[in-house]
Structures are given as C-alpha cells and as structure tokens.
Amino acid sequence: MKNNHGANLHQLSETLGINENQIIDFSSNINPFGLSPKGLKKLKDNLQLASIYPDPDYIELKASISSYCNCNSENIVLGSGATELISSTIKIISPKDTLLLSPAYSEYENELIKVGSKITKFFYEKENNFQINIDHLISFISSNCFDMIIICNPNNPTGTLISVEDLEKIYLNFKKPIMIDETYIEFTDSSKTSAINLVNKYDKFIVIRGTSKFFSTPGIRLGYSIVSKGEILDSLNIIPNLWNINIFASLMGEAMFKDYDFINMCHNDFNENFNLLFKGLKNFKEFKVYNSNSNFILCEILSSRFDANNLYNYLSKKGIIIRKAQSFDKLNEKFFRVCVLTKENINLLLKEIEGFIREY
Amino acid sequence: MKNNHGANLHQLSETLGINENQIIDFSSNINPFGLSPKGLKKLKDNLQLASIYPDPDYIELKASISSYCNCNSENIVLGSGATELISSTIKIISPKDTLLLSPAYSEYENELIKVGSKITKFFYEKENNFQINIDHLISFISSNCFDMIIICNPNNPTGTLISVEDLEKIYLNFKKPIMIDETYIEFTDSSKTSAINLVNKYDKFIVIRGTSKFFSTPGIRLGYSIVSKGEILDSLNIIPNLWNINIFASLMGEAMFKDYDFINMCHNDFNENFNLLFKGLKNFKEFKVYNSNSNFILCEILSSRFDANNLYNYLSKKGIIIRKAQSFDKLNEKFFRVCVLTKENINLLLKEIEGFIREY
C-alpha cells in the first residue's frame, strides 16, 4: 500500500470480501450527499468532450470558482487535487525553515522533506483540548526565523479552527508566506472563517482548497489555490503540467460551484448530522470527544480495556471503516477519527460501537 | 496564449466567431473516429464513482494496458497525458548532455532546458526527405558523450519512422537511457514497429505513449510509459503526484484498450483515408508532400506566390485549421502539417485548398 490517506477502499474491499460500494467509510471525511446534480448533469451532457483538449487557460472553470469564492480569477491556480497544489507550493517557496502546526495531514511533512526544509512543529495540545493559544504561537514565531508557516484550517485531525482575526495577527507578526489548507472550511460558515479576504489584503497568502471533501468528488482530482499577487503566484502560473485538469473535472467544476440548491442542502443537513454524531459519541463514557469545527470528530478512548485497533478491527468486519489516528504526531493507539455521514449511517455506527463496548 | 501545441480551439472559436465543435481541426492529429464505444459505456455506467478516490495503484487500468501492449504491469507508469511523463522522465534522468532527433515536439526541449541539459540536435533533413541515415547517426553518437537520446517515433512533424532493428542498433552502440515517444505508433502496425519488446530485452528503454491521438481522448489526460526494470522505473514509481489519473480517465482506459472492434475499425478506415489525403495533396503541383508513417503529413509549399500563413488564414476563415510548421526547427513559413480526418473532411480540405490556389 503506497499511501495511508484514509482508507484504500479498493484494497479493503478485497481484504474484507465486501463489495466496495457497501463499505461505510467514516475515514475519508467525504460529504455523504453525493454529487452535485448540476455538476453531474453537465458531465452527462458533455461526455463526448473527452475528444477535445481542455482549455489550457480554464477560463470558464476559473470564473465559476471566482464567483463561488468571491475572489479574482487571476488569483486562482488549479491543481490535480489539493495534494498537487500542496506539493507545487512547497516546491516553489522552498522554505529552509518551516513552522508546521501539528498534528496534521502527512503530505505537508512529506513535501517539506523533499525540499530539504527544517521542520519545526507547534502543537495543538491534548492538554489544551487541541486549541491554540495565539499569543504563545505569535511569541514563538517572533523568537524564531521561519520562512513559511503551514496551517490546515480547520485542522485535520483535530477539527481546530483558527479565526481570520488570529490569522491576520499571525501574518502581521511574520510577513512571510503562510499556506492555509482550507480543505474543510466549507463545513464551517466560510463567509466568516475563510482566509480568502486576506489574500487580497496582504502579500503572501496561499489558500488551498480541494473539492474531494465538501463536493464529494475525490475521483475527479480538482483542487484550487487562491494566491496573493506576486512572485509565488507568478511561479505557480508557469504551468507545471499543461492541461493538469481533465475535461470531466473541468465540466463538473464549472457547474457544481454554482449549484446553490445542492450547496445549501449540504450545509443544512450537515449541521443536524454533526450534532447527532457528536452527541452520540459523547454518550459513551469510554470516550473523550473533542470539539470540532469540521466534518470529522477526534475521539480518545479512555477505557483501558481496548484501543482504536480493537475498535477498528471489530467495525471493519461489519464493513464500517474508521480512521485510526496513531499515525498522527503525538496521537497514539487510543485515538480515532470519524466523519459525519448520513443519519442512517451514523445511527448504525453508534449501534455497532455500543455492541463492541458490550462485547469487549 | 500559454501554449502552441496545435490549435487552442477555445480561443480560435472566439477569434473566428465559429462554434468550437464546428471547427475542423487538421492541426491536432486526433483520430476522427471519436471515442471507443466500450470506453464511453463504462464511463456512462459509472459516473457516480466521482465520489470515490481512484485506486492509488490503478491495478485494473494497468492490467488493461498490459494486455493491449503485451507488456508487464510492473513496467507501466501512468501520467496525466504523455506530456507529464516526458517531464518526469527527463527530470529523473536529468541528463547533462542530450541528443534530440529534430525537428520534434517542443516539450522535449522545454523540459531539457528546465534540468539544464546541453542539447545536441541530429536532424531529419529536408535534403534527405526527412529520413535518417542510421550509420551516420550511430557514428555521431559514438563520437560524442551523450547521457540520453530522445526519439519521437514516428516523428512529429516529419512522420519519419525508425525501425525496431535500427533502434536496437542505436542502443547497442549507446547503452544509456533512450526515451522513445510512441504517441503516433498506433497509426502504424505497432506489433512490428513498437519498441516495447526492447524494454524487456535491455536495461534503459523508456517508451512513452498517450491516448490523446489514436484513442481521440485528449480531454481525459491519460498517458503511460513502459519502462525497463531498474533505477529509472524505481524513481518514476516514487509517486510524484498521488492519484494523478482521475477516475473517469481510469474507467475509460480500463475499457477502451480492450475495445478491439473499435481499434480494428480505426486501423482499417485510417489507411483508406490516409491514402485519400496523401494522393489529394500530391495532386497540387504547388506542394511537395513528404512521406509519412503517421496520421499527419508534412507539406512544403513550392510556389513563391504564397506561404503557409496565407493558406492558414484563408482556411481558418472557413473554419478549417491546419498547423503552420515554422515553429519547428529548420522548418520555415513554407511548411505546414495536416492530419488524417474523415473522408468527408479531407475532401472538403482538398476542395478549399484548390479554391485558395485558384484565388491567390
């Protein structure tokens, strides 16, 4: 297995002997509402366009993102998933000394190692319920000499959200490139939480977003960055890979960012389901459930009788996949992460966890 | 315009005021038979899979390519179009001194410049009807110290084909990496002309192929390399970009490489249409038409009354796009390239050229 990004459903399906689409995947953090109907329709109506090259400038796709994000088209850079953008941004900035808020998605560290960056971690600490003390963080930044700061916001796997005001404070005490991964920002009220406005206001902000999670489209590999005007944007625009978005991803993108019926429906149902999952998990006295500003919830097993491996193994035999979190910095085999799926799946998860606790 | 790879139909459509799908594109070398019906069906039946991550190992896709190319799955590397594979291969080999058979597709040179390679060109010469004298080439290789040789076979834009026997001779006198771009090989009898067998026999062959041209799928961005076992393959396999093939490209690929009804139909009709275009162009005494082993034909305008710009401008007003070839090394404004489309479109092209010559 070449990666450990959530579940490899293809392999699991073989291992478990369960059909891939019968696996209930609480590990990949994908919105369970499926595809935008307008995105899907545009795709269906245009399958024949496989036989033409994509517009190398992706004008229509960028216009759609621009209107969705309330940003300028000229600030947008497209990538084959957020993963490609994380890689190209780190390569272009090539920081000697990077501050990484941790624990975090493993790709930041992988890419930093490739460019030989020294990595300093500032931790969301368990003792502080994984919240950040911004004054401590700023004082730490000021007493060091970092070239770049990387923040996943809200953070995976802790669900921690840093406010725009605090991000601005960090920038004003740093004034060098800050990369903010907003893969999960659409599970918050992004009009108030997104750093996109800071991109226009300041020089060195890179906001990275993917469509895999909120728009449930990991298959199409479509990510985008909104980048402050200047050297970083210019370098990112020297096309690393001509036509890096395929025509189907482009077509879906053009339509789905404008599909407000779908977007609003996702927002409404999400809040209700989040509460169902959060309260359900809290009811187990064996778990400590951490607050989350995202579509996943980090839990710690307090009981000494079992750990996340036991729970994972039990649930996976029933076709339910959770994310063991011990590969994350400073988390151990007592931690696991689950995301918000449908009401039906959440109720099933809670019921199976109850069964596990009773049996174990 | 950020690229000059054939026509940017999106821009042309605006400039010409003609709907994109009404432009007859003789410049992009795309097989006019459209999409593989089996590929299209598999896609249509599985659109919902946009909501899952692609298999990071692409096992089913590689199996399909393996059977189509009669090669081992372990030798296959996938890329977002041949363009990405050209880039990653050159980056990994990072040659100090490269021999490039020219004129050729501009991306080889662009990528070689990025890694700081010295570039030496060995020309398909007009005086020799763009054929290569293999003994001269081998003697030139032996008296120099190249780290890599790049050959597009059949070559774009000359249509020149170097036989497998000659490729083997070149290797035996070189024994260092040879990258062969076989983007157009399927327009020949590839069972006899492809270098894939040399990949198994020798150490340092990289055969690159795309699906844009023969399978008419430039929109899906699917390319693949077949690479000799060893260091180069190992380096290419250290995933440069996780999930670089999106799920739709993967699905179409899985089915279309096995769609032998479609593949055979393309081969049969292609030969007939090639002859129609070739003979038709030969009938104009104003042109010298060069032999081609591919789906495009290079022509030189012998008349002093006009050049390729005049012809291009005349035809483009009628929605017909040809490729002016003066951006290629040692070709000038007298050269143009046209590809084999349908019988109907070829007849239209010939009629319009006749009109042009009469009027001009």
The Cα–Cα gap between B32 and B215 comes to: 9
A5: pLDDT confidence band, cut at 50, 70 and 90?
low
Comparing CA positions, the residue from A122, A121, A117 lying closest to residue A93 is A117
How many domains is chain A partitioned into structurally? 2
Same domain (yes/no): A80, A121: yes
CB contact under 8 A, B47 and A51: no
Nearest CA in chain A to B51: A217
Same domain (yes/no): B171, B183: yes
Same domain (yes/no): B249, B266: no
Q: What is the pLDDT of residues A223-263, one digit of tens each?
A: 999 999 999 999 999 866 778 899 999 999 999 999 999 99
Specify the pLDDT at position A255: 98
Contact (CB, 8 A) for A149 and A156: no
Place of tokens 């070709």: B331
Identify the three-state secondary structure at position B321: strand
- Shortest Cα distance, chain B CAs vs residue A69, angstroms: 22
Q: Is residue A2 part of a domain?
A: no
Residues near B170 by Cβ (< 8 Å), separated by ≥ 6?
A: B134, B137, B138, B141, B149, B162, B178
Same domain (yes/no): B201, B270: no
Contacts of A55 in chain B (CB under 8 A): 8, 10
Same domain (yes/no): A222, A286: no
Chain B, residues 250-279, CB within 8 A of chain A, namely 252
Q: What is the pLDDT of residues A311-336, one digit of tens each?
A: 999 999 999 999 999 999 999 999 99
Q: Is residue A199 part of a domain?
A: yes
Comparing CA positions, the residue from A200, A209, A203, A157 lying closest to residue A180 is A209
The Cα–Cα gap between A205 and A226 comes to: 8
Q: Does B174 touch chain A (CB under 8 A)?
A: no
Range of the domain at A127: 37-258
A158: pLDDT confidence band, cut at 50, 70 and 90?
very high
Interface test with B, best of A9, A53, A220, A254 (most B CBs within 10 A): A53
Lowest mean pLDDT among A11-25, A223-237, A275-289: A11-25
Contact (CB, 8 A) for A101 and A150: yes
Cα angle value B341/B346/B351 (rounded, 5°)? 160
Contact (CB, 8 A) for A203 and A232: no
Q: What secondary structure does DSSP assign to A46-99, as a single string?
A: TGGGGGSPPPTT-HHHHHHHHHHHTS-GGGEEEESHHHHHHHHHHHHH--SEEE
Pairing status of strand B178-181 against strand B205-210: parallel
Q: Does A78 touch chain B (CB under 8 A)?
A: no
Contact (CB, 8 A) for A117 and A100: no
Chain B, residues 187-226, CB within 8 A of chain A, namely 212, 216-221
| B212: CATH | 3.40.640.10
Specify the pLDDT at position B239: 65
Give this complex's ipTM: 0.90
Among A241, A258, A275, give the residue marking a domain's end: A258
The Cα–Cα gap between A102 and A170 comes to: 16
As to burial, measured by CB atoms within 10 angstroms (0-12 exposed, 13-18 middle, 19+ buried), residue B291 is: middle
| B294: CATH | 3.90.1150.10
CB contact under 8 A, B48 and A54: no
B28, B47, B247 member nearest A40 (Cβ):
B47
Please indicate whether residue A14 or residue B67 has the higher confidence score (pLDDT): B67
Please indicate whether residue B239 or residue A354 has the higher confidence score (pLDDT): A354
Q: Is residue B3 part of a domain?
A: no
Same domain (yes/no): A272, A250: no
Q: Does A74 touch chain B (CB under 8 A)?
A: no
Contact (CB, 8 A) for A181 and A86: yes
Identify the three-state secondary structure at position B123: strand
Using DSSP, how many helices (H) and how many strands (E) does chain A show? 14, 13
Same domain (yes/no): B187, B224: yes
Contact (CB, 8 A) for A126 and A299: no
The reply to whether omega before B218 is within 30° of 0 (cis) is no
The Cα–Cα gap between A76 and A233 comes to: 9
- Shortest Cα distance, chain A CAs vs residue B244, angstroms: 7
Contact (CB, 8 A) for A196 and A71: yes
CB contact under 8 A, B59 and A10: yes
- Which one-letter amino acid corresponds to residue A306? F
Residues near B310 by Cβ (< 8 Å), separated by ≥ 6?
A: B356, B360
The Cα–Cα gap between B94 and B88 comes to: 10
Write down the mean pLDDT value for chain A: 94
- Which one-letter amino acid corresponds to residue A195? A
CB contact under 8 A, B51 and A218: yes
Same domain (yes/no): B179, B139: yes
Task: Establish how many alpha carbons lie within 13 A of residue B16's alpha carbon, considering only the half-sphere containing its beta carbon.
Answer: 24
Identify the three-state secondary structure at position B237: helix
Pairing status of strand B76-79 against strand B287-289: unpaired
CB contact under 8 A, B241 and A83: yes
What angle, rounded to 10 degrees, do the helices at A37-45 and A260-282 form? Answer: 130
Name the percent of chain A lying above pLDDT 70.
98
Specify the pLDDT at position A13: 82
Contacts of B252 in chain A (CB under 8 A): 50
Contact (CB, 8 A) for B303 and B233: no
Same domain (yes/no): A197, A299: no
Q: Terminal CA-to-CA distance of chain A, rounded, Å?
A: 30
Interface test with A, best of B221, B235, B339 (most A CBs within 10 A): B221
Among A258, A283, A302, give the residue marking a domain's end: A258
CB contact under 8 A, A8 and B34: no
The Cα–Cα gap between B354 and B336 comes to: 16
Comparing CA positions, the residue from B4, B11, B36 lying closest to residue B263 is B36
Task: Establish how many alpha carbons lie within 13 A of residue A72's alpha carbon, considering only the half-sphere containing its beta carbon.
Answer: 11
In DSSP terms, which residues pair with A101 in a beta bridge? A122
Same domain (yes/no): A104, A154: yes
Q: Is residue A3 part of a domain?
A: no
Same domain (yes/no): B314, B273: yes
Q: Which helix (H) or strand (E) holds B142?
A: helix B134-142
Averaged pLDDT in 10-residue chunks for chain B of 360 residues:
57 82 92 95 96 92 97 96 94 97 95 97 96 96 97 98 98 97 97 96 96 96 97 86 89 97 94 97 98 98 97 96 96 98 97 95
Specify the pLDDT at position B12: 82
Query: Which long-range contacts (C-beta less than 8 Å, at least 24 apart) are formed by A137-146?
Result: A137/A170, A138/A169, A138/A170, A138/A173, A140/A99, A141/A99, A141/A170, A141/A173, A141/A174, A142/A173, A144/A97, A144/A99, A144/A120, A145/A97, A146/A95, A146/A97, A146/A98, A146/A99, A146/A120, A146/A174, A146/A176
Q: Is residue B4 part of a domain?
A: no
Q: What is the pLDDT of residues A78-95, one digit of tens each?
A: 999 999 999 999 999 999
CB contact under 8 A, A3 and B48: no
CB contact under 8 A, B216 and A51: yes
Q: What is the pLDDT of residues A171-222, one digit of tens each?
A: 999 999 999 999 999 999 999 999 999 999 999 999 999 999 999 999 999 9
Same domain (yes/no): B215, B278: no
The two three-digit tokens of residue A88, written as one number: 């190209």
Q: Does B246 touch chain A (CB under 8 A)?
A: yes
- Measured in whole angstroms, the distance separating CA B341 from the mean position of its chain's CA atoms is 15
The two three-digit tokens of residue A343, written as one number: 């009401």
Q: Does A53 touch chain B (CB under 8 A)?
A: yes
Q: Is residue A346 part of a domain?
A: yes
The Cα–Cα gap between B217 and B253 comes to: 10
Q: Is residue A4 part of a domain?
A: no
Contact (CB, 8 A) for B258 and B64: yes
B30, B35, B221 member nearest A246 (Cβ):
B221
A48, A51, A219 member nearest B54 (Cβ):
A219
Cα angle value A131/A133/A138 (rounded, 5°)? 135
The Cα–Cα gap between A176 and A147 comes to: 6
Q: Is residue A312 part of a domain?
A: yes
Buried b (16+ CB within 10 A) or exposed e, B6-43: bbbbbebbeebebebeebbbbbbbbbbbbbbebbbbbb
Q: Does B172 touch chain A (CB under 8 A)?
A: no
Among B227, B258, B289, give the residue marking a domain's end: B258
Place of tokens 């003066």: B326
